[in-house]
Structure 1
C-alpha cells in the first residue's frame, strides 16, 4: 500500500496545525460559525443532528494496522458525548419514536465509542466534541490520515474496488492511478470551487465491483487489441434525488492521458454547472440536460489541453512506476496458528463459500469480515473490535486491510493454510457471519438517528431485518440479494442500486419508507447498473420487515430452480411483488394514512 513521503507527512501535519489555529480563533470569537463552516468542512467536520461528525478519508479503502489502532484510540478516548447531550439526544429520539404512525419498531439506545465504515471507504465518528477536533486531527496526522477531500464542493475521497491487484480477473491494478489522482486533485485550483461535490471511482478488474456507472466520473480499466492499458470513461452518474447512470464519453482513453481528460471534464463542469440551485448543481444534471453538447465541449477542451497547453498533466511511465512501487506484494508469512475448527463443518464451509475469494497469487485468499451483526448497525465497529481487527491484519494479512463498498473489511493477503485459525479468531469477535452477498449483508446509512439531513431512521429497520433473518439455511436458500437502505433522498445508503431498496421519507413530520425493487450496481451477477422502481405507497417502520418478507415469499413461489432474486424479478416483472408488498400493509397504518 502507499507509503506517505516526507512531503505527504508534512502536508498533513501542517493542515492539522492550520485547523487548530482556525478552531482556536473561533473559540476566542474571532471567527463566526459561518466563517468556520467552510474551514471545518474542508477537513471533514460536520455538525449533525446532535453533535459533530468527523469523516476520515481512507483513499481507495486501504488501511494498515497502525492506522486501525489509531482509529480505535479515537473511538475509545474521543467519541464521547457529554452526559447532558446524550440524554437530550435520547429524549429527542424517544419523542420521535412516540410520534410515529400506527405501528413502530423499537429504537435502540444511541451508542458512542465506535467508528462507522461507509460505502465510500470513509470512517465516521458521531460524538467527538468540536473542541477536541484539533487534537483528533493531530493524532490522525501522526499515522498519515486526515479528513481532507471528505466534504465540501471538492473532489471527494477517491474509490476503488476492494480486490484491486489481487482479484483473479484483474486487468490492471487501479490503485496507483487512484493515488496519482489523489495527489493531483488535492490542491488543484480547478477543484477548489466546484458547483457541487464530486466523486470518482476506479475499477481494475473485468467485473465492475466499484459501481463506476454511479459516479460523477467512473473509470473502468480495459486493454485494447494491441494490449495497451486504458480506461472506459463514464461521466454523470449519481444517485440522490435524480438517479442517473453515467454516460460513456470515451470507450478507450490511454492511461497516460487520464489527468488531462479529467481536467477537461472538470473545466466544462466549472463553466456550465449550475451554482444557483444546489439540487441541480451535480454534473449528472448537466450531462443529462446537454447530452451530446456536453460530450463535444469536453472533447474540444481536451484537444485544447493537448494542443494549446501542451498536455501538462500527462502521466509519464517514470511517474507511474514511482507510484506503483508502493503497491507491490508485501512480505508474506503464514501465521501457522493452531485451530480447533472442524474444517468439514457446515458453518466453516459456508464461511469459505461466502466470505473467502480466490486470489491471483497461488496459495493466498482474500477474506471478508462481516460487519453485519445483531446489536450493531451495518458498518459499525467499537474500539475493542477495531483494535482486534488490527491484530488480525498483523497476524494474517501482512498488516494490511481494506474497507469495502459494502461496509465490511477485507484481509487481502491471507494464506490458505491460515483460514481455519482466522475463522476461529473472527468468530470469537462476531465477524465470521457467512453472509457476504446475502440478504443480511445490507448497506445502510446512519439515517435519522444521527444525520440532520435524514427524513427517517435507518438503523431500527436494519436491526429488525438482521434479527428476523438469522437462519442461515433460509439466507442460503434465498441466495444473493443486495439490500440497500437510505434515511433520505441523498442516498448515502445507495438504495437506488439495491435489488431491494428502502428509502426513508417524510410525510407531515412523520417517518415513512418507500420500497424499490430491481436496482443494480453493475456487477456481473446484478447486471448493468439501473435504479430500482418504487413498488407502492410508503410504509410505516413496523410494516417494512413484513413487506420485505412478502416480497421474498413471492420470489420463493415464482422462481425457477437455482434462479437468483434479481433474475426472477426481471423475468417475472414487478407486478406480483408490488401486489405482495401492498398486501402486507397493516390496518393501523391505513388508519394513520387516512388521518
Structure 2
C-alpha cells in the first residue's frame, strides 16, 4: 500500500491551512458564495440540496484500518454517524457543517488522506480493479500505475482547469472490473505478441446525457511512455475540447465530433514531440513504487481448508454468503471476501460509524490490514485465509454487513437522487429500497442470477444506469417523478449502452415494471444457467417490450 512521502504530507498540510483561511473568510462574509465556490470545489466540498457534502479521496480504492477508523470517527463527530461510498471509490459525508470542514481535513491528513481533486474540472481520483493484487486473472497489479498517475496528475499546472472533469481507470486483468470503457481514458494492461507488458489505451468513454463507449486510440503502449501518452491526450483535449457548452465539453464529444482517426493523429503527433523528454517513465521508478504494492507474506496453505468446508456444510447462511460474496484468490488457501453495502431496505453504499469500526477490525485481523472500496459501492477484504472466512462472516453478520447479494438484483448502484442532489429530477434511494424489499427473498435472487441494476436520479448518470443490465433513469414530467427503463447495458470488457424500452413509468409503478421485466426474463431464458444479459442479447428488446406494455 502506498504511503505518503514528504512532498505529499507537506502540500496536503499547506492546502488544509489555506482552506481553513478561506472558510473563515466565507463565514465572516469577506467571500461571496460565487467567490468561495471554486475554492471549496478544489477541496472536495459541494453544496447539495440541504447541506454541504465533503468527498474524501481514496486513491484506487485501497486503504487500511487506521484510515477506516478515522473515517468512522469523523462520521461520528462531524456528521450524522455514517458515510457513503461512491462509484469513484471515494467516501462522502453528506452533512458536515462548513465551520468544521477545515478540522475534518486536518484529521484526515493525520492518516494520509485528503479531498483534493475529488471535484472540479480536473483529473479526478484514478480508479482501478477492487481485486488488484489478489485476482487470479491479473497480468500485473494496476495500482502501481494508478499511483504513478496520481503523482503526475496531482496539481498538474496544465490540467488544473480542464474543459470538464476528467476520469481515468486502469485494469490489470482479463476481466474488466474497473469499467474502463466508460471513462475519459481507460487503460488495460496487456501483453503484446512478443510477451511484453504494456497498455491498451481507450479514450472517449463516458455516461451522462450522451453515453459513449471509449475507442481504442492505441493498441499497445510501452510502460515507459505511459505519462507522455497521457499528457499528449490531455493536451489535445485541453487545446481543442469544447468550452462554449458544458454539455459538449467532455473528451467523448471531441472524439465523436472529430473522429477517432483524427484524434489519434493529433495525439500521436503531440506524443512524438514529448515522448523522449522528462516525461519518459524510468523503469527503476516503476520498480520503486511497485515495492509499495509487494504482496503480503502469504502462508503456504492447502488449496481448500477442511474447516472452511465443514462450516459451509453446517451453516446454510454462511454457504449462501460464500456462494455470492467470496471470490477465488491467486494464492492457494486464500480468498477475496466482498462486503455488500446493500442490505434490504437501506440506502446503497451507506455504512455507519460502528460498521466502519467492525470492517477495520476484521481487516486488521484477517486481511493484512487492507480494505478496498469498489466502484459498485461495496467493500472488499482482499486477502483472507479460507479457514478464517467463517470468523469474518460471523463478524460481518453481527454488524448487519453479511448480505449475500453480490452481483444480484439488490446489489444496485444508486446515485443520491432528489433526497440530496440539487441536480436530480427524481428520487433514487426510495426506489432502490422498494426494489430491495420486493426482491428480499435471497433464494429468489440467486435463482434470478447475475443481474446488475443501476439507478440515476437525472441525466448526469451518477448511478451508471446506461450500463446497467437494467437501468433506471429518473425524469421530471410536469413536476411528477417518472422513471425510464433501459435494457442491455454492460460495463465490463463487453461494454454496451442500454437501450430505452419504451415510455417511462410513474413512481408508484416503477417497481412493478422492474419485476415484470425480471419475470419476462425467467419465462424466456434457456435454463437457469443463462443470465439476464445473455438472454437479452439472444432475444433482443421485442419480447420484453411487448409483454411489459401489453
How does the TM-score come out when normalised to structure 1? 0.89
The answer for the alignment partner of 1:274 in structure 2 is 242
The answer for the alignment partner of 2:143 in structure 1 is 175
Q: 1:295 aligns with which of 264, 270, 284?
A: 264
Q: 2:273 aligns with which of 301, 304, 321?
A: 304
Does 1:120 find its partner at 2:58? Answer: no
- Contact (CA 8 Å) 1:53, 1:124: kept in 2 or not? yes
- Contact (CA 8 Å) 2:358, 2:395: kept in 1 or not? no
Q: Deviations over 1:47-75 (max 9, x none)?
A: 00000010111110001101101111111
- Contact (CA 8 Å) 2:308, 2:387: kept in 1 or not? no
Alignment of 1:135-150 (within 5 A): 135-150=103-118
1:130 Cα deviation after fit = 1.1
Corresponding residue SS for 2:509: helix
Gaps of 5+ in 2: none
Corresponding residue SS for 1:411: strand
- Contact (CA 8 Å) 1:444, 1:484: kept in 2 or not? yes
1:582 Cα deviation after fit = 2.6
Aligned equivalents of 1:134 and 1:582: distance in 2? 53
The answer for the alignment partner of 1:211 in structure 2 is 179
- Contact (CA 8 Å) 2:371, 2:380: kept in 1 or not? yes
Corresponding residue SS for 2:549: helix
Corresponding residue SS for 1:187: coil
Aligned equivalents of 2:491 and 2:513: distance in 1? 23
The answer for the alignment partner of 2:291 in structure 1 is 325
The answer for the alignment partner of 1:574 in structure 2 is 541
Aligned equivalents of 2:389 and 2:103: distance in 1? 39
- Contact (CA 8 Å) 1:341, 1:424: kept in 2 or not? no
The answer for the alignment partner of 1:429 in structure 2 is 399
1:331 Cα deviation after fit = 4.6
Q: Deviations over 1:19-76 (max 9, x none)?
A: 1011112222222211111111001000000000101111100011011011111111
1:340 Cα deviation after fit = 13
| Structure 1 stretch displaced more, 490-499 or 294-303 | 294-303
Q: 2:430 aligns with which of 454, 457, 460?
A: 460
Does 1:533 find its partner at 2:533? Answer: no
Q: Deviations over 1:535-588 (max 9, x none)?
A: 1111111211100111111111111012111111111111111233334xxxxx
Does 1:473 find its partner at 2:443? Answer: yes
Does 1:158 find its partner at 2:134? Answer: no
How does the TM-score come out when normalised to structure 2? 0.96
1:361 Cα deviation after fit = 1.4
The answer for the alignment partner of 1:314 in structure 2 is 280
The answer for the alignment partner of 2:365 in structure 1 is 395
- Contact (CA 8 Å) 2:298, 2:331: kept in 1 or not? no
Alignment of 1:506-525 (within 5 A): 506-523=476-493
4+ residue segments displaced more than 6 Å? 338-341
Change over 3 Å in CA distance of 1:333–1:55 after alignment to 2? farther
1:237 Cα deviation after fit = 0.2
1:188 Cα deviation after fit = 1.3
Corresponding residue SS for 2:472: strand
- Contact (CA 8 Å) 1:547, 1:580: kept in 2 or not? no
The answer for the alignment partner of 2:341 in structure 1 is 371
Corresponding residue SS for 1:293: helix
- Contact (CA 8 Å) 2:345, 2:436: kept in 1 or not? no
Q: Give the number of equivalent residue pairs.
A: 542
Gaps of 5+ in 1: 80-111, 584-595
The answer for the alignment partner of 1:100 in structure 2 is none
The answer for the alignment partner of 1:486 in structure 2 is 456
- Contact (CA 8 Å) 1:504, 1:511: kept in 2 or not? yes
1:332 Cα deviation after fit = 5.6
- Contact (CA 8 Å) 2:345, 2:434: kept in 1 or not? no
Change over 3 Å in CA distance of 1:38–1:341 after alignment to 2? farther
Aligned equivalents of 2:308 and 2:204: distance in 1? 50
| Structure 1 stretch displaced more, 424-433 or 497-506 | 424-433
Does 1:201 find its partner at 2:169? Answer: yes
Aligned equivalents of 1:362 and 1:341: distance in 2? 18
| Structure 1 stretch displaced more, 537-546 or 230-239 | 537-546
Does 1:559 find its partner at 2:525? Answer: yes
Corresponding residue SS for 2:229: helix
The answer for the alignment partner of 1:70 in structure 2 is 70
The answer for the alignment partner of 2:43 in structure 1 is 43
Aligned equivalents of 1:68 and 1:533: distance in 2? 39
- Contact (CA 8 Å) 1:504, 1:513: kept in 2 or not? yes
1:6 Cα deviation after fit = 2.2
Corresponding residue SS for 2:220: strand
Q: Deviations over 1:382-432 (max 9, x none)?
A: 111111111111111111100011111000110111011111111111211
1:476 Cα deviation after fit = 1.1
1:333 Cα deviation after fit = 7.9
Aligned equivalents of 1:374 and 1:530: distance in 2? 29
